[in-house]
Structure 1
């Protein structure tokens, strides 16, 4: 168990270091009552291609590592307050109460909206879905979604509160909830 967790963390850190020289970077850390998550996003091109790496640890249920590619951009190139990202992520799911690990290729994305008249207030959300056809090893399906509301304490630092839900099905089980938490987080852009 400890070896799997350490392995996921090493993969995340190596990938993050490799992408560090990229154009635009975001580091997102959040804490829930029994979970913690860290996500790193690095801009790879000036046309919006972005690499994303993440790690979610829940004390009772799961460890999840992720790596993906998304395309990020404004909904309307002329100063739209909506920023969207769409793409795919590989999630490496290691449940603590079920035998075996799973790997899923989830499609989805996330968005962030900055209020035009109160330009420090933001709302955001994410959705990633993997049906059985793109779920491997011991995983049968995967769902992750969340919402956030934040305040930019600096132009490159946002403090937020939010809600995250992660569920999956494994061989021989119905859908199980792996994380279902309210969280507080900090997103840094550099």
Structure 2
């Protein structure tokens, strides 16, 4: 590790509140993910970027772009988004690739339990939108969140990120498992 970059890393983390709407940190049994979203749920667009380190020296980088808006699911207030998730990954086992997944997300607030919300996201990339060793990509995330204080929430859920390998029979789960994390709003 290059220790001369640590001050630059710390400085960039300190600057996140000036440019971000929220920061999301989550853990599974085999991975850690950080996600920064640049607009809040009142904006008409959402742009975010994230990095995941998976045990075994697998690195995943994502950039998300969605049109979003407030809506309702029955009588429940909700936020929905439709767009793309660009994902690139590198594995020390000589595999790497990426994809441009089409899909969206939805968050439903439960007014009967103030602070509780349910979130789901689904993105899929067929082979035409995949490159490198990826033949396709499926990304699913489900979570339940509870707003502990005005600017922070805790969540638990499940993450599944899978790709078929181009020249090999079979697929690999780039990241999968039960997750827990925190989200901080700025």
Is TM (by shorter chain) over 0.5?
yes
Instruction: From 150, 170, 173, give the equivalent of 2:165.
Output: 170
Residue 69 of structure 1 and its aligned partner are, at CA, apart by 1.1
Partner of 2:44: 48
The TM-score with structure 1 as length reference comes to 0.81
1:103 to 71, 74, 98: 98
Out of 112, 115, 121, the residue aligned to residue 116 of structure 2 is: 121
2:147 is equivalent to residue 152 of structure 1: yes
Count of residue pairs brought into register by the alignment: 176
User: 1:73-113 CA deviation, whole Å, 9 max, x = no partner?
Assistant: 1124xx9521112111210111333x232121111122211
Cα distance in 2, alignment partners of residues 66 and 121 from structure 1: 27
TM-score (norm: length of structure 2): 0.82
Q: Which runs of 4+ in 1 moved over 6 A?
A: none
Change in 2 beyond 3 A, CA 1:74/1:63 = same
Q: Which runs of 5+ in 2 are unaligned?
A: none
Match of 2:184 among 178, 185, 188: 188
Query: How many Å separate the matches in 2 of 1:176 and 1:86?
Result: 26
The yes-or-no answer on 1:29 pairing with 2:25 is yes
